[in-house]
Chains A and B, each alone.
Chain A
């Protein structure tokens, strides 16, 4: 960073990564059976190094960790990172502090996909492993494509039109979702839970579904960080700096859509993370995306893992949907930060 008076970047990354590690270990340790963090580390080390030595309670714990807890915590971290990252991208693209990953129709599209998948599977008496996530993802992407098409005029896609088209389509699809829920009968509970978002019962197959699209989306985003910076000052000034604005916009939208779609398909609609985490990070890092985005990724992961832990613990042995926790905990914390900081947020 060119001679700036920003926070010591390297130190922050280190601290945050360490914090993430700590939270993840805690996440794996917690559950119906409490596994000491030290033991978690031992099991992790030996699982690949010396599997034969895992006997007795160690063996059981290893099983618990590797079939239930580890995939779940990993997924929570990755989804948290993904939602925060795509939230930051949308806020930058739209130059709007209220933008979040769901703003151009991903949420309602995914919801409709999931809802119809759940209902269809019951009505047709099917059971597809990837039924719900798959449908959610496909419909999320389709919705974004429709919104993009709606907003395109004369070869350009003005961000304001995109936002408004997203709002319109969101409303329409949400209505359809509500309609489905009205007629869902006994499935209502399942639908509602999916909509509120959570990580319970998520396994390695969910991770496998999630990773390709999330990684692709994230890589594309990280390639265009400099352009994102320029677009913050306006689309025309960015054009004057030699950036092919419409092309970059399109690619970033696709990338963010893939990323968000992947997140939502495996974890439902977890609100708030994509909106708040970028703001929180921007308060200390400033608007430069080359600093902001990596920090947002790690912070998002920490946030989600912590939220998931809380969701598991608060009403143990039952679980709260993560979305409720993220809002309940995140909002007051953000208000506190807002009050504390001195300079303009956006």
Chain B
């Protein structure tokens, strides 16, 4: 392990920021540090780059205590890319990037061809060779950021720290920079530790992600294992969708633009037997009202399933065009048992979802509150040659109530919920 943090705690004066952090970064690894504002990311980076001595604990670079090493020695192996600095002096781009060679030059040693070579290469890698003679005061924010990166690369480091390096870059340069880091990692075994705000960049380009919350490590590991909508909710306090384009793909965080705001979570839950493609409205309405909605058994990929996923409901799901598998059936049963109510909208029944009906019947017999919405006669939606109709008729006998429309069903459950709250 190239970099190790052993029980590191940092504070600014008496104000504690990091508490007892332990982790390691391997050679050639790209690690992303993410977390909410104020969680200590920049502080951690500064502690790791020999700028903020920890109050407690050690930072080890190749098994040597970083803070016991000389600054120049460390700088010849470790480079840091800060966000664009405010103070601007009219240095030329070359002079600026040449400063990166300082750790390698002795006190009165002049810059030689080796140094010029390093500078040229750094400018080339960041696609800024054409800016060489310009003054940095004349550059745009993005160009300046690339020059700062070039300066760090001119140091020819083994480890590169970056603090939100992509904030000022347009999407083209953001991707370009990440690709550059990837390339350097492949060609030179560069190790990268960066603080990123963009979770998608972190997800797609980092080998591992460290999530900080309130000065401690909340989670660490491969992006696919660490980034989930629940975790993001717990750490950041917002609901997002986490999607996978394919099973091996990295997670992509998607804004849930259809978000509902929860002013007061009603603690009641309702399970909706879905599958007719018409439950989306019910899902939307009930979740907006604060109900905990679960649903099943749905076929993955049908429209109800998409609606349910978008709203982050608990789903008992099964592969499409198949009979319901026992596991999902069991889960569906469990969800129904946990719910205060079960709604059965007028869905069609085929051999695929006959089992749903059976489990429902059993539960109704046991006292579960099943509300049957009977807006379309069962005969018209029975594709099982009568078997479904028979089960259905039995079900109606044991059901909590039978209503003729969705609205009536909603009135009933809402009314009861309202009464419960009043009493």
A interface residues (Cβ-Cβ under 8 A, vs B): 1-5, 95, 154, 223, 226, 229-230, 232-234, 236-237, 239-244, 286-288, 343-344, 346
Is residue B309 within 8 Å, beta carbon to beta carbon, of the partner chain?
no
The answer to whether B79 and A234 touch across the interface, beta carbons within 8 angstroms, is no
Residues 236-281 of B at the A interface (beta carbon under 8 Å):
none
How near does chain A come to B45, taking the closest CB pair, in angstroms?
11
The answer to whether B76 and A343 touch across the interface, beta carbons within 8 angstroms, is no
A-B contact count (CB 8 A): 87
Is residue B107 within 8 Å, beta carbon to beta carbon, of the partner chain?
yes
Known: A154-B13, A242-B76, A244-B71. A3 touches B89 (CB 8 A): no
Known: A242-B74, A242-B75. A5 touches B89 (CB 8 A): no
CA–CA, A343 and B107, complex, Å: 31
Is residue B189 within 8 Å, beta carbon to beta carbon, of the partner chain?
no
Is residue B111 within 8 Å, beta carbon to beta carbon, of the partner chain?
yes
List the one stretch of B97-105, B174-182, B328-336, B403-411 in contact with chain A: B97-105
The answer to whether B90 and A286 touch across the interface, beta carbons within 8 angstroms, is yes
CA–CA, A108 and B189, complex, Å: 57
How near does chain A come to B106, taking the closest CB pair, in angstroms?
10
Is residue B95 within 8 Å, beta carbon to beta carbon, of the partner chain?
yes
Q: Which residues of B contact A287 (CB under 8 A)?
A: 89-91
The answer to whether B94 and A242 touch across the interface, beta carbons within 8 angstroms, is no
Q: Which residues of B contact A223 (CB under 8 A)?
A: 107
The answer to whether B75 and A241 touch across the interface, beta carbons within 8 angstroms, is yes
Cβ-closest chain B residue relative to A287: B89
When the two chains form the complex, which single residue of A2, A95, A344 contacts B116, counting CB atoms closer than 8 Å? A2
Is residue B72 within 8 Å, beta carbon to beta carbon, of the partner chain?
yes
The answer to whether A240 and B91 touch across the interface, beta carbons within 8 angstroms, is no
The answer to whether A2 and B89 touch across the interface, beta carbons within 8 angstroms, is no
CA–CA, A232 and B95, complex, Å: 12
Residues 115-150 of B at the A interface (beta carbon under 8 Å):
116, 119, 132-133, 135, 137
The answer to whether B85 and A240 touch across the interface, beta carbons within 8 angstroms, is no
Question: Which interface residue of A154, A229, A242 has the most chain B CB atoms within 10 A?
Answer: A242
Is residue B417 within 8 Å, beta carbon to beta carbon, of the partner chain?
no
When the two chains form the complex, which single residue of B75, B87, B92, B116 contacts A240, counting CB atoms closer than 8 Å? B75
When the two chains form the complex, which single residue of B87, B95, B102, B119 contacts A242, counting CB atoms closer than 8 Å? B102
The answer to whether A236 and B87 touch across the interface, beta carbons within 8 angstroms, is no
Q: Which residues of A contact B74 (CB under 8 A)?
A: 242
How near does chain B come to A324, taking the closest CB pair, in angstroms?
32
Q: Which residues of A contact B13 (CB under 8 A)?
A: 154
How near does chain A come to B340, taking the closest CB pair, in angstroms?
58
Q: Which residues of A contact B105 (CB under 8 A)?
A: 226
Q: Which residues of A contact B90 (CB under 8 A)?
A: 286-287, 343-344
Cβ-closest chain B residue relative to A241: B102
CA–CA, A311 and B111, complex, Å: 45
Q: List 12 A-B contacts (CB under 8 A).
A: A1-B95, A4-B95, A223-B107, A230-B102, A232-B89, A240-B50, A241-B100, A241-B103, A242-B71, A242-B76, A288-B95, A343-B135
The answer to whether B85 and A237 touch across the interface, beta carbons within 8 angstroms, is yes
Q: Which residues of A contact B107 (CB under 8 A)?
A: 223, 226
**A-B contacts besides A241-B99, A242-B70, 20 pairs, CB < 8 Å:** A2-B95, A2-B98, A2-B111, A3-B132, A5-B92, A5-B133, A154-B13, A223-B107, A226-B102, A226-B107, A232-B89, A233-B89, A236-B82, A237-B85, A239-B71, A240-B49, A241-B75, A241-B102, A242-B75, A243-B71
CA–CA, A288 and B111, complex, Å: 14
Is residue B51 within 8 Å, beta carbon to beta carbon, of the partner chain?
yes
CA–CA, A286 and B92, complex, Å: 9
Q: Which residues of B contact A4 (CB under 8 A)?
A: 92, 94-95, 133
CA–CA, A127 and B92, complex, Å: 55
Is residue B80 within 8 Å, beta carbon to beta carbon, of the partner chain?
yes
Q: Which residues of B contact A242 (CB under 8 A)?
A: 70-76, 102-103
Cβ-closest chain A residue relative to B92: A4
